[in-house]
Amino acid sequence: MKESAQASRRSGVSLPILAVPMLAVVVFLTVARVGAAAQDATFHLDPQHTTINFTLGDVLHTVHGTFRLKEGTLRLATASGKLSGEIVVDAKSGESGSGMRDRKMHREVLESDRYPDITFRPDRIDGDVTSQTKSVVRVHGIFTIHGADHELTVPTEVQMAPGYWTATLHFAVPYAKWGMKNPSTMFLRVNESVDIDLTASGSVTRR
């Protein structure tokens, strides 16, 4: 051992320097593992396991209702944070449990016969989605409702699992500000924005 150390000193190379190649190998393997975990991904939304709830407050009570997902696929480029694809909601599926109220919502507010789809087309994600852990990110994109496009940034919590994912998000739609009719009457006043809570689930593929 002493002879090896003496030989190293004679050659002008210290033992820590000799360890540099080994350190480089370790760093390379670590980076390779991180790179493998940070692959681009395609997220498929399962309509059977995706829920879309809306909440509208008024002076007497709060109205709760649901919409149904038609389809959705999102593609994430991990390195750039670019997110593409589309989430499509069936506007005609909106219901709150009151036939009279729902008919008014579809006829006068959403005009769902004329605008049957509500869509969200994301373009980027701020934050990292990590494998098999919970991540909090912000998704930016274009939300289309009642035939008009609106820029939107939505805080989103993502939970990853092998081959599967779940995301929960909450945002408000200021429908009156966006040109839709406020259904308030002389005797019933409702808020001019509606809260949306979406829980999306489905499969994920990496490439």
Per residue in 142-170, pLDDT (tens digit) is: 999 999 999 999 999 999 988 899 999 99
Residue 11 CB coordination number (10 Å): 9
CA–CA distance, 184 with 190 (Å, rounded to integer):
6
Angle made by CA atoms 82, 88, 91, in degrees to the nearest 5: 145
pLDDT over 90 percentage in the chain: 63
pLDDT at 42 over 70: yes
Would the pLDDT of 101 be above 60? yes
Q: Can you tell me whether residue 111 is helix, strand or coil? A: coil
Q: Are 197 and 170 in contact (CB under 8 A)?
A: yes
Q: Do residues 46 and 198 make contact, with C-beta atoms less than 8 angstroms apart? A: no
Burial class (CB in 10 A: 0-12, 13-18, 19+), 109: middle
> What pLDDT is attached to residue 73?
97
Measured CA to CA, the distance from residue 45 to residue 50 in angstroms comes to 7
For residue 187, what pLDDT is reported?
Answer: 63
Quote the CA–CA distance of 147 and 153 in Å, as a whole number: 19
Predicted confidence (pLDDT) at residue 38 exceeds the cutoff of 70: no
Mean of per-residue pLDDT scores for the chain: 83
Is the per-residue pLDDT at 37 higher than 60?
no
Place of tokens 């994600």: 125
Question: Of the ranges 36-45, 54-63, 87-96, 149-158, which one carries the lowest mean pLDDT score?
Answer: 36-45
What pLDDT does residue 57 have? Answer: 86
Helix (H, G, I), strand (E, B) or coil at 178: coil
CA separation, residue 14 to residues 22, 25, 70, 135 (Å):
14, 19, 66, 44
Burial per residue of 127-146, b for 16 or more beta-carbon CB atoms within 10 angstroms, e otherwise: eebeeeeebebebebebbbb
DSSP 97: S
Stretch 28-56: mean pLDDT, rounded?
72
Q: What is the domain partition of the chain in residue ranges? A: 2-35, 39-206
Pairwise CA distance, residues 163 & 119, whole Å: 25
pLDDT tens string 172-189: 999 999 999 998 876 678
Is the per-residue pLDDT at 27 higher than 70? no
**Average pLDDT estimate for 99-120:** 95
Q: Please report the pLDDT score of residue 32 as a whole number.
A: 31
pLDDT at 9: 46
CATH no. for 39-206: 2.40.128.110
